[in-house]
A and B are shown apart, each in its own frame.
Chain A
Amino acid sequence: MKAGSRLKQVLQKGHFAVTCEMGPPKSAQIQGMLAKARAVKGYVDAVNVTDCQSAVVRLSSLAGAVHLLREGLEPVLQVTCRDRNRIAIQSDLLGAYSLGIRNVLCLTGDHQRFGNHPTAKGVFDLDSVQLVNIVKGFSERRIFANGEPIKEGAPDYFIGAVENPFSGPLELRVLRLEKKIRAGAAFIQTQAVFDLERFKRFMSLVRDRGLDEKCFILAGVIPPKSERAAIFMRDKVPGISVPDDIVTRLRNAADPKQEGIRIAKELISAVQSIEGVSGVHIMAIGWEEVVPQLVSETGLYPRPA
């Protein structure tokens, strides 16, 4: 068995962690993704590989994660409950661990209606909390979901989950976070933070319940590319809230891209100063080449060895 999760070590040593995200291609051609991977190498501690995000068919997250490993990057394997039942998911997780993947992020998954196969049957055999608990069962109790023992080689993943502080009643989100932590989540990546005030209120409730002591929270940051992109996220992406002043800044900017970078850097610095936030998760959505700049210009480069 190969070494454990580096992301886990970085967080446990108390460093402010940096992760980013990559969507595999809608083809079997991996070169483009590898070029982006090379660009961010050394600037991030781990890279999430999305699992058919927005329910669009893409190269599998498992294959994408293995490609990143070969490039010398540490992947975070995203696993959704939308497309696979408990048999397939556990099977993939055994396979992924055998290939050297050490981080897993458990998600429910966007509904298939949003994707390019809206007539598909959604699986949702498990929900994300149950999935976290099953992966926890692998390492803690060495059992499968059915309670059967894993006789040898039980995977010991660094288990992540997501939380969206911007959707529905705030206290409900905190209770849900707590549930995920109790189920076994060791790190949390949040939905993109634009609304800092709400995020601060969320973090204060998180601290009140001592949840920041029980898991590492990485705040999500999306560098907005343009006013249009910001409006699209605000209006069309489920669960993202984009305050008006961000939209206005992008509208009035002479160079919207530079303004987007400025906004992202401000957000990274802002979340860094919030007590209980252990890192940042940059979701550049196709604009990954900006990640090194965001990391170095916010003083987060070089990354700890």
Chain B
Amino acid sequence: MSSFKPKIIAFCCYNCAYAAADLAGTMRLQYDPCVSVIGVPCTGAIDLTTVLTAFEEGADGVFIAGCLKGECHYKVGNLRALERVKYLKRVLSEAGIDGDRLEMYFLSAAMGSRFAEIAKEMTDRIRGMGPLPLNGCPEEGEGK
């Protein structure tokens, strides 16, 4: 499994985790380049289908990183994201995909090293799980 290079998508809130990811870079902290950061205005704005699309289009793991509880700039956006993550874990496992391939984290803009830690934690976790079971089977064209 050592040749396995996972693809991990990190949806990060601009107000905290995205800045933390930046800070991690500035601090020259190493984390695996397989983590691709996508900035969002608030984790509460991440739609259910966005996360599912990430998996369907090749992500082996996804994590959502929002503000610390109580610090969301839109009050409860991060808590809504947490509820969606809980729901999506069930949706994934119903479809035969380990729900732990998706995770929610809370951090502040100052937590650069925590971001690097989370990135490593998720990379290790997904490496341990191996490739997403979808990735052996091609996607058919959508009938839309």
A and B touch in the complex (CB under 8 A): no
